[in-house]
Structure 1
């Protein structure tokens, strides 16, 4: 006789489905905030870009920083871009492809395990891209700070 408690698989699936959905929502929120940040910094670089052009090392560092920031923003856009594939049974995209009768039949079976697996892979991909974007933004910030220092030093 096992001393292990039996696990309520249905409750575990409900919890996993909710956790995966929450993780996806978190990455989308973080990406949106970082996109706004990138836009504001790029606008500032464009507005103050003339100061960087005075001293060519500052212009090079500033240009590279702005380019890295733009690449980071592109990666962030890939985080918030809707994914329409793969379609897991028991997911919104699957339900959208069904007729009302097929939906009724599909609801008779529990497909949460398939949906959780697909959504978990999606959440991991979003987290990896968010991490890559943050690394790019950090590198861009370092280059932009260097450009500012060089511009100030070149103006003296």
Structure 2
């Protein structure tokens, strides 16, 4: 491996690890947001006399937000069975770690990239569910206001 290729692989490795960290940061913020929306919607909905249309749309909206929270939790759940990064290194002797790192940086990049794509895909599905759940809760509010008028 040439020195340039080694530096390029090191930069790509750092970039992939940074992308994984970005997904974890976004996921944390979205989990807090979803939790706050669920708590607020439950409190407001529990204290109002809602008609059946509002109860149904609100319930489906809450279910969508709960599903999104589940996806977000899945996204940040540690994957300790991987064949790259520290889960692999934990199974090796110090000499094997040194050899694996110097020999298999490209394989580690590929494995971490697959992990990053999986995390981003899960995050994307969660955002879609958050948008759908939010839209349903807005519809619930409109039904509640319309039913009260």
TM-score (norm 2): 0.92
Superposed, which structure 2 residues align to 1:1-156 within 5 Å? 8-51=4-47, 53-88=49-84, 91-106=85-100, 109-156=102-149
The structure number with the bigger radius of gyration is: 1
1:94 positional shift: 1.6
C-alpha contact (below 8 Å) 2:23/2:120 kept by paired residues = yes
1:90-148: CA deviation from partner (whole Å, max 9, x where unpaired): x21121112334435545x4211110000000001111111100000000000000000
- Runs of at least 4 residues off by over 2 Å: 50-54, 99-107
Cα RMSD after superposing both structures: 1.8
Q: Secondary structure at the match of 1:61?
A: helix
Give unmatched runs, 5+ long, in structure 2. Answer: none
Whole-angstrom CA distance in 1 between matches of 2:94 and 2:112: 24
Whole-angstrom CA distance in 2 between matches of 1:84 and 1:30: 21
Whole-angstrom CA distance in 1 between matches of 2:142 and 2:100: 62
TM-score (norm 1): 0.88
Q: Secondary structure at the match of 2:103?
A: coil
Give unmatched runs, 5+ long, in structure 1. Answer: 1-5
Whole-angstrom CA distance in 1 between matches of 2:54 and 2:47: 9
Whole-angstrom CA distance in 1 between matches of 2:123 and 2:48: 29
